[in-house]
Amino acid sequence: MNPLIIETAKSVIASSAPLVFAGIGEMFTERAGVVNLSLDGSILLSAMAAFAIAFLSGSLILGFLGGMLVGMLIALLVAYGAIALKQDQVAIGFVLTLLCADLSSFIGKPFVRKPGPSVPHWPIPGLVNIPVIGRILFDQDVLVYASYAVILVAWVWLFYTQAGLRLRSVGERPEAAFARGIAVNRVRYLYTALGGALVGLAGGGYSLSVKLGWSHRHTAGIGWIALAIVIFGGWHPFRVAFGAYLFGVLKSVGSLLQPGFPNIPTQVFQAAPFALMLLALLLVSGDREGLARRLPKPLRAIVQALLAGRPPAGLGKRFEQG
Amino acid sequence: MTWRARLTQIGVALAPIGLTLVMTMFILLLAGADPFEAYGNILSGAFESPKKIADIAVAMVPLLLCSAGMLVTFAAGLWNIGVEGQMIAGALMTTWLVESLTAPAGVILPLSVVAGLIGGALWGLLVGLIRTYGGVNEIFAGLGMNFVASALTNYLIFGPWRPPDGATMSGTDPFPPSAWMPLLGTTRASLVSILLSVIALVGVWLVLRGTYWGLKLRAIGRNIRAAQRLGVSTHRNMILAFIVCGALAGLAGSLQTTAVYRRLIPQISGGYGYLSQLVVLLSGLRAEWVPLVVFFFSAVQVGSPRLELRMQLDSSMGGILQAGIVLFFLLVRGFRERWRAPERPKEE
């Protein structure tokens, strides 16, 4: 196979890993019925925190833990504001988006463009020798392998465990779940925290691996993409991951095409993913049946399966416990 | 009202400010800076001279216009995060007019205002259509359109509207003097802009309070299904809300080009669209409180660059103060409701 394609696929897989973490994390949060809208700010602040901690302590593990802690605390603040204080979760999430972005700029200033530690490359012995696939999937770093694990574990957890069933019932029909003895709001706190930790891991993934270092608004925009990918992915782990990889592919296609259009400023290419995000959302939210009817028969089922999915019925709705 | 209740009320009003000061103090100490020196710099940066106070008025104009617009969409229960893009669209339409029409100021300035209104309204219409007929949540619809608008701006600045001696990030060539809004004395403030923004806010206040359309919007915002059952055309009124909000935001963008920068620059919306979301939240969605909040936000905006000049701190401290106070406002409000809920079941 063409080595250029292999290299591109490899880099898409690597660069999408943080987006997989953030997307799956937010998927868990939303499956429980809470929207953590703060992702764009959370990723920035946790990326900054992870880099700063790893830079100061020299420990990557501490850096990642710090980033995850930051993501988790922000998420818990959203959950607390929404559940205990009964405020609009969209409002709190939006305010936190702006607040965390500014915090990352202010606190992160001393760390701008400092050379720092990075996650080492670690090909998996044996597996890396599989033709084509080995080079693409197993010639990466630990973070990327963790992203595979997160996708698989999320899928098993959600659809094949008791805990997953409880989670889904809390998001779909909180009253029924409560009647069955599930502590709805406790489950919501738990999965918002878990989702936040994964979002924080995504932040660390950028500053310590995919987009090394720290700069002003280092990852701006990514959080919104992650939120859109959860919708695009119909709240299903595989499709969320597919959305993340699709975004990676589109981005690398964009950067491959860019030299061919020297007259178009780079900013236009940088904005393209967001326009595509909007189109993708239109595709999954709009008139799916009408679209499917216009397609040739063999494609119909595939497209329908790909675009299926609806938000958990209790998403964003408050639950009054007793 | 008893003394105790009054004291509680004052406490509740001041608590967000106090908490924000505590939080920022902590962050400033963490950054190795003297908090009081920092606050002092922000204050003197905002109020030390009449010129600075005029600058506050300059910053207030786009915030007032965007907040006025957003009161309309919020009344209908819509999060118009696309205000930023609608500002840009107004600025683009105005620039297009100025680039293609040579006329005396008496003609071009009124037309530029109309162009701004139309540009923003069109962008608002698009967000409204995507929201209602496309079924995409308005947050993503608005956000996507923001990025499209800003890409379009860059394309135009580096493409068709490129200055003859090469495009740069500083924008297009300056507008001809006929397209300059007159300014007050030697300041950067324009009386026309200030008047337009005041009219917009008062107008929105009147429309939301005293018209049938305002009532319909509020009905949609409270309970969309019930409004529909009562015969309110929800799609049409929601789109209309987006158009009105977009028009006011577009006017803000237009005035940024004709009164403030006198050219089109890449970041013409300057984050005012996002900031005005905070304004409206801190005002509790009430028009009466918008002017005060806008004044405070604008003062912080004008004062905080001084942190960079005098103390080598990042001026994003201004944003931390603005967003922090809104966050604590929401949290304190929640605390108060939780605290007094059991004793007072149904009053007021």
**DSSP string computed for B80-133:** -TTHHHHHHHHHHHHHHHHHH----HHHHHHHHHHHHHHHHHHHHHHHHHHHHT
Test B278 with A37 for CB contact under 8 angstroms: no
Give which of A30, A107, A278, A279 to mutate to test B binding, by max B Cβ within 10 Å: A278
Above 60 in pLDDT, residue B299? yes
Above 90 in pLDDT, residue A256? no
Does A275 map to a domain?
Answer: no
Please state which of the ranges A141-145, B1-5, B134-138, B301-305 shows the lowest mean pLDDT.
B1-5
Q: Which of A177-181, A200-204, B178-182 has the highest mean pLDDT?
A: A200-204
A129 by DSSP, 3-state: which? helix
How far is A314 from A300, CA to CA, in rounded Å? 30
Does A281 map to a domain?
Answer: no
Q: Which residue has the tokens 């909000």?
A: B245
CATH top class, domain B37-337: mainly alpha
Does A297 map to a domain?
Answer: no
Nearest CA among B192, B199, B195 for reference residue B106:
B192
Interface size, chain A vs chain B, as Cβ–Cβ contacts under 8 Å: 140
Does A197 map to a domain?
Answer: yes
Dihedrals phi, psi of B264, to nearest 5 degrees: -100, 125
Is the separation of the CB atoms in A52 and A44 below 8 Å?
no
Please give the DSSP secondary-structure letter assigned to residue A306. Answer: H
Does A184 map to a domain?
Answer: yes
**Longest CA pairwise span in chain A (Å):** 63
pLDDT of residue A309: 72
Please give the DSSP secondary-structure letter assigned to residue B203. Answer: H
Above 90 in pLDDT, residue B205? yes
Does A271 map to a domain?
Answer: no
How far is A97 from A45, CA to CA, in rounded Å? 10
Test A106 with B277 for CB contact under 8 angstroms: no
How many structural domains comprise chain A? 1
Residues in A lying within 8 Å of B, measured between beta carbons: 37, 81, 84-88, 90-92, 94-96, 98-99, 101-103, 105-107, 109-110, 221, 224, 227-228, 231, 263-265, 267-268, 270-272, 274-275, 277-278, 281-282, 285-286
How far is B269 from B267, CA to CA, in rounded Å? 6
Domain boundaries, chain B: 37-337
Domain span at A113: 3-219
**Could you tell me the pLDDT band of residue B53, with boundaries at 50, 70 and 90?**
very high
pLDDT of residue B347: 42
CA A52 to chain centre: 22
How far is A250 from B179, CA to CA, in rounded Å? 42
Does A261 map to a domain?
Answer: no
How far is A199 from B212, CA to CA, in rounded Å? 45
Is the separation of the CB atoms in A78 and A93 below 8 Å?
yes
Test A268 with B151 for CB contact under 8 angstroms: yes
How far is A254 from B6, CA to CA, in rounded Å? 60
Test A282 with B140 for CB contact under 8 angstroms: no
A118 by DSSP, 3-state: which? coil
Does A283 map to a domain?
Answer: no
Six-digit token string for A141: 């770093």
Above 50 in pLDDT, residue B346? no
Condensed to tens digits (0 to 9), the pLDDT of residues A111-168 reads 999 999 999 999 999 999 998 899 999 999 999 999 999 999 999 999 999 999 999 9
Mean model confidence pLDDT for chain A: 91
Please state which of the ranges A92-101, A169-178, A307-316, B255-264 shows the lowest mean pLDDT.
A307-316
Above 70 in pLDDT, residue A288? no
